[in-house]
Structure 1
Amino acid sequence: MTSPRHPSPDGPHHRLPSTAHLRALEAAARLGSFERASHELAITASAVAKRVAALESLLGVKMLSRTGRGVEPTAIGREYLEQVNVALGLLTRSAYHQRASTSRRRLRVATPPTFGRDLLVPHLPAFSERHPDIELELMPSIPYLDITAPGWDVEIRFGDGAFDGVLSERLTDDTVFPVASPAYLARVRFDTPADMLRRGVLLRCPLEPWGPWMRAAREHTGTGDVDEPTQGHRLMDLGMLMEAALNGQGVALVRRSLAWRYLQAGRLIPLFAIEARPTSAYYLCSPRGVDDDGSRAAFGAWLHEVCRAAQGASVARDA
């Protein structure tokens, strides 16, 4: 006696989507947006939307509708999701799927030292909490000398965004402004920008020229020098520039994305309500034509959040 035959799921009458498409639909519906779903699934928001669209095309029905705040399931989508949640729940509870995974993804990140120290490292615990299966390996690069450690998967670059041979996306869009330590300001008090330019020690760094801020100050006040300072030590690294200011050696030009910790702690005090658009920014770069296992997209989405938070950090200004 032969055993009863069950219809094959691969038969001509079945249209079964992949679990990746089902998980994209479930996460987007539950979290209410493709962006939030992308963080959970460690893929881009665009990839989530494409998977949902492919599922809708396969089934011939609309599963999600867009709202002013994100997305929400349609009536048919809610009914379908009830079945999807049951199926995914059964798969999740399978003993075979509950075995501890030993596979971990490693992402090698090349970063300028100051960006790595002041933005990446302080937030590493938050990244590990969100993506426990991804290990970051931070490798130093030197923007001024155009030196990068070999073998990187993603690289943070400082410049104008015109980088050959890589895909790049802008990370920072903050302004620059002068700061000094409380100890320095106790010795030298500035009442106006022109006063600071005349009597202050302007710390110099070729990566953060004074020209943009001087032009902005002259537009605001109608007076002031627009030439780069020509005297004093030159510091070839933004971290050394901030360290000199922290030690009361003069006035430094900084951006909030790097100096946010020192500004919030009151160790550096902003001078005047004048800010300028710098000539350079930080960019996240990746090699062309290389497949991503999801770790690059996950790191990029997280790093954009970190940069936005650092740029928006509020501090009290010096009167």
Structure 2
Amino acid sequence: MSAPRRPPNFSALRAFEAAARHENFSRAADELHLTHGAISHQVRALERELGRPLFIRNGRQVTVTSDALKFSQALARAFDEIAAAADAMRATTVAQRLTVTAIPSFAARWLAPRLGGFIDLYPEIEVVLQSSGQLQDLAREGIDVGIRFGRGNYPGMLVERLMGDVYYPVASPHYRDGALPATPQDLAQHVLLRSVEPWAPWLQAAGVALAEPTGGVMFEDLSLLIRSAADGNGVGLVRHVVAMQEIAAGKLVRLFDIEVASPDEYYFVVPLAAAARPHVVAFRAWLLGEIGAYQAAQDLTRRS
């Protein structure tokens, strides 16, 4: 193993970067709380070490050379990374509060049952889970992470796709004393529960000439529609991710093999200022791991 390379003196690098940015030794001295002579001394020492001039001098006026300008810009990026890493280290010395918001159906039926695993890994982090269907201003409201169901257009945010979802009809096994619809065409004789998610795309995919159902209750939260379907009030069109618990428990039965991909998908959305915070980084890594395990289990179920 080769010995690590020895970088130039850090103080000299700081002095040079400030002097190059201002193209003025006096302003660099003011910024770093040094004297003009100290900046000049540091810069000359760095020039000797690098074996080349960094400035073109004309009396007290200095102009950074083109190569030195690129060098100073690289140093500025490195100093920013050092500062960010130091901030991250400081943040880990105090208890962290992580505020997560997600649509109610996903929060209650997919995320909340799994959060215990995150708490076991990071007991020092206090997780505040908010369920809301509204598109909050995450940065303004102090929310660290938003899990959104949409098209991924969230300006000014760090956005990462998590997974998609599919729609299909379900009913309670006790609906109409077990006389469930045998074919998609039979749905014309049944109560179709309504939510903000339209039936039309699934009906079209199934080749059923039925109009979008109207009247009755409109469920704005898919969790409420799932509960109504489980109570035997009708046939509901559900997303797999939020209905699979009731299906696995036998409270709902999936009808037919036809499913339609949702045009909306789940996204991890974070304000840019929060993206590098240790508790946000930890939550993202944990969440991606949980989604990977969930999708692997779904793939195994489909193949079996």
- What TM-score do you get using the length of structure 2 for normalisation? 0.63
Does the alignment pair 1:191 with 2:182?
yes
Give the structure 2 partner of residue 68 of structure 1.
Answer: none
Q: Does 1:123 align with 2:107?
A: no
Report the Cα offset of residue 121 of structure 1: 1.4
Q: Does 1:171 align with 2:162?
A: yes
Q: 1:304 to 1:199 in 2, by over 3 A?
A: farther
Map 1:37-48 → 2, pairs under 5 A: none
Q: Distance in 1 between matches of 2:300 and 2:172?
A: 14
Q: Which residue of 1 aligns with 2:204?
A: 215
Task: Map residues 148-163 of structure 1 onto 2, 5 A cutoff.
Answer: 150-163=141-154
Partner of 1:200: 190
Identify which of 214, 217, 228 aligns with 1:244: 228
| Structure richer in helix, relative to its length | 2
2:245 maps to what in 1? 261
Q: 1:255 to 1:128 in 2, by over 3 A?
A: same
Selected match of 1:277 from 241, 252, 261: 261
- Which residue of the partner structure matches residue 139 of structure 1? 130
Q: Among 282, 285, 288, which residue is 1:298 paired with?
A: 282
> d(CA) in 2 for partners of 1:252 and 1:16?
67
**Out of 98, 110, 114, which is 1:107 matched to?**
98
Name the structure 1 match of 2:40. Answer: none
The 1:156–1:291 alpha-carbon spacing in structure 2 relative to 1, beyond 3 Å, is: closer
CA separation in 1, counterparts of 2:6 and 2:247?
A: 55
SS class of match (2:206) = helix
Q: Which segment is superposed worse, 242-251 or 103-112?
A: 103-112
Query: Cα distance 1:194–1:289, how it changes in 2: closer, same or farther (>3 A)?
Result: same
Change (3 A) 1:166 1:189: same
Contact 2:274/2:280 (<8 A) preserved: no
Report the Cα offset of residue 217 of structure 1.
0.8
Aligned partners of 1:141 and 1:148 also within 8 Å: no
Alpha-carbon distance, 1:163 to partner: 2.0
User: Offset at 1:313?
Assistant: 4.3
The one-letter code of the counterpart of 2:97 is R
Q: How far 1:16 moved relative to its partner?
A: 8.2
Q: Which runs of 5+ in 2 are unaligned?
A: 8-91
TM-score, normalised with respect to structure 1: 0.60
Deviation of the 1:228 alpha carbon? 1.7
Secondary structure at the counterpart of residue 182 of structure 1:
coil
**Contact 1:181–1:269 (CA<8 Å) still a contact in 2?**
yes
Highest CA radius of gyration, 1 or 2?
2
* Matches of 1:295 and 1:132, distance apart in 2: 11
Give secondary structure in 1 for the equivalent of 2:174.
helix
Take 1:188 and 1:257, find their aligned partners in 2: how far apart are those partners? 26
CA contact (8 A) 2:275 2:281 kept: no
The answer to whether structure 1 residue 230 and structure 2 residue 220 are counterparts is no
Aligned residue-pair number: 213
CA distance in 2, matches of 1:249, 1:211: 20
Aligned-partner residue type, residue 209 of structure 1: P
Q: Percent identity?
A: 39
- In the alignment, the residues of structure 1 paired with residue 275 and residue 181 of structure 2 have an alpha-carbon distance, to the nearest angstrom, of 54
1:46-57, aligned counterparts within 5 Å?
A: none
- SS of 1:164's equivalent? coil
8 A contact 2:144–2:274 mirrored in 1:
no
1:108 corresponds to which letter in structure 2?
A: T
Q: Which SS does the other structure have where 1:135 is aligned? A: strand
1:30 is matched with none
Alpha-carbon distance in structure 2 between the residues aligned to 1:134 and 1:156: 18
Q: Which amino acid aligns with 1:231?
A: G
In structure 2, the residue matched to 1:22 is none
Q: Distance in 2 between matches of 1:253 and 1:126?
A: 30
Q: CA separation in 2, counterparts of 1:194 and 1:118?
A: 30
